[in-house]
């Protein structure tokens, strides 16, 4: 079966509940926080009640109040996730990174420290999410998009086990590639090949650049991702990531080494514009760690009682389910909106996807 057709039929039934459906009550109004009270579930899939929206800052005509709310609101662009990743990068730079003077030559000692630190950060973020959601089953299948367990006996994965396969590629290839890019970048800063400026030299650009890094990554991710769906690159590399239709945290960084090289190459942009190693470090850590939450497989994290944190994970989950939509990152779907591959979770969007694929298959046969 062509990969573009996988899951298209089953998805129609999972959207039936949307017909004539009004906006549902908020979490605080629910009598018991259940995934049927917020959104809807068919035999397999849960879907959130709200359609995926383009961030207000990228809508025309401008909506200043909504844009400011998206930028500074909670949750929003700056808070809490991007601030969390920035705080982690700052702690890493000040307390977990060797002195830059020791990095003027490639020595096994300092490179091993960086590799060990990156390995620990990966286990901390990916491992914690997997432990809570999939081992301890902290919220069962509540707000899980696909209620089936991840594969434990499948020839599609190394060791016949999806999680072990994902961990292998994430750690053996992902962390190694991340560390290699970081080591070369720090070496270049240490040798004056990249400009090193303290924030006092240009505090406004220093802070603005930190804030722009998730957007810079989003642009690079979209371009790289579209390239990876070019048939030769898909068949040789990206297929490995897309074996994960029923995703979990460790699926996020589970990629072929060739894809890792392309995925982390966004840090090269920092070689041209960064003022300080912290910009490159934040960029790399964001790229390395954010996919854990983006691929966690859940639409909300239950905090207890009648409260849950809404996640922007449905957008990319639809990409893993249908392959040829939603190529952008979770938080910035604007590129798919512009280029006609946007799927917001509605019946209308799914009908457009099927029509587009039918035209493609028809032209291919012709």
pLDDT in tens, 226-266: 999 999 999 999 999 999 999 999 999 999 999 999 999 99
Residue 62, in any domain of the structure: yes
User: Of all residues in the chain, what percent carry a pLDDT higher than 70?
Assistant: 85
What pLDDT score was predicted for residue 248? 98
What is the per-residue pLDDT across 316-352, written as a single tens digit (0 to 9) for each?
999 999 999 999 988 789 999 999 999 998 889 999 9
Q: Is 104 helix (H, G, I), strand (E, B) or coil?
A: coil
What pLDDT digit, counting tens, does each position of 181-199 carry?
999 999 999 999 998 888 8
In a domain, 121, yes or no: yes
What's the pLDDT score for residue 7? 36
Domain for residue 270, yes or no?
yes
Q: Is residue 345 part of a domain?
A: no
Which DSSP symbol is given to 22? Answer: P
Count structural domains, the chain.
1
Q: What is the pLDDT of residues 263-304, one digit of tens each?
A: 999 999 999 999 999 999 999 999 999 999 999 999 999 987
- Would you say residue 158 lies in a domain? yes
Q: What is the DSSP letter of 309?
A: E
Q: Which domain holds residue 145?
A: 46-311
Q: Give 125-130's long-range contacts (Cβ < 8 A, gap of 24+).
A: 125/289, 125/292, 126/170, 126/249, 126/250, 126/252, 126/253, 126/289, 126/292, 129/249, 129/292, 129/293, 129/296, 130/163, 130/248, 130/249, 130/250
Q: Could you identify the residue written with the tokens 């072929």?
A: 256
Q: Is residue 347 part of a domain?
A: no
H-state helical runs in the chain: 8-14, 64-72, 81-95, 108-122, 128-130, 162-168, 176-190, 203-228, 231-233, 239-242, 257-263, 267-273, 277-294, 314-322, 334-339, 347-365
> What does each C-alpha distance from 276 to 93, 100, 270, 272 come to in angstroms?
11, 12, 9, 11
Asked if residue 98 is part of any domain, the answer here is: yes
Does the pLDDT of residue 18 top 80, yes or no? Answer: no
What is the rounded distance in angstroms from the CA atom of residue 267 to the CA atom of residue 118?
A: 16
Q: What is the pLDDT averaged over residues 20-34? A: 34
In a domain, 320, yes or no: no
Q: What sign for the dihedral angle of Cα 177, 178, 179, 182? A: positive
């Amino acid at each position: 079966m062509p990969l573009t057709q996988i899951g298209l039929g089953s998805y129609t039934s999972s959207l039936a509940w949307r017909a004539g459906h009004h906006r549902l009550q908020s979490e605080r109004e629910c009598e018991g926080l259940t995934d049927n009270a917020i959104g809807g579930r068919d035999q397999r899939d849960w879907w959130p009640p709200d359609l995926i929206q383009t961030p207000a800052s990228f809508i025309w005509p401008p909506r200043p109040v909504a844009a400011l709310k998206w930028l500074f609101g909670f949750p929003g662009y700056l808070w809490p996730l991007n601030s969390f990743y920035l705080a982690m990068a700052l702690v890493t730079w000040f307390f977990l990174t060797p002195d830059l003077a020791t990095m003027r030559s490639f020595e096994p000692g300092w490179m091993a420290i960086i590799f060990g630190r990156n390995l620990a950060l990966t286990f901390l973020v990916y491992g914690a999410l997997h432990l809570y959601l999939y081992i301890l089953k902290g919220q069962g299948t509540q707000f899980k998009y696909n209620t089936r367990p991840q594969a434990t006996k499948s020839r599609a994965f190394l060791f016949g086990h999806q999680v072990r396969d994902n961990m292998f590629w994430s750690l053996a290839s992902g962390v190694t590639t991340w560390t290699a890019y970081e080591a070369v970048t720090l070496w270049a800063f240490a040798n004056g090949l990249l400009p090193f400026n303290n924030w006092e030299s240009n505090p406004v650009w220093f802070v603005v650049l930190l804030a722009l890094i998730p957007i810079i990554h989003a642009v690079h991710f979209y371009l790289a991702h579209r390239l990876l769906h070019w048939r030769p690159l898909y068949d040789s590399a990206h297929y490995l990531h897309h074996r994960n239709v029923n995703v979990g945290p460790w699926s996020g960084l589970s990629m072929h080494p060739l894809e890792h090289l392309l995925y982390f190459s966004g840090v090269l942009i920092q070689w041209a514009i960064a003022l300080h190693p912290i910009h490159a470090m934040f960029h790399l850590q964001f790229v390395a760690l954010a996919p854990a939450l983006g691929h966690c497989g859940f639409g909300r994290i239950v905090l207890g009682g009648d409260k849950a944190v809404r996640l922007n994970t449905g957008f990319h989950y639809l990409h893993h389910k249908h392959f040829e939509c939603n190529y952008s990152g979770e938080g910035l779907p604007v590129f798919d909106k512009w280029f006609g591959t946007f799927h917001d979770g509605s019946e209308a969007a799914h009908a457009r996807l099927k029509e587009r694929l039918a035209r493609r298959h028809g032209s291919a046969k012709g």
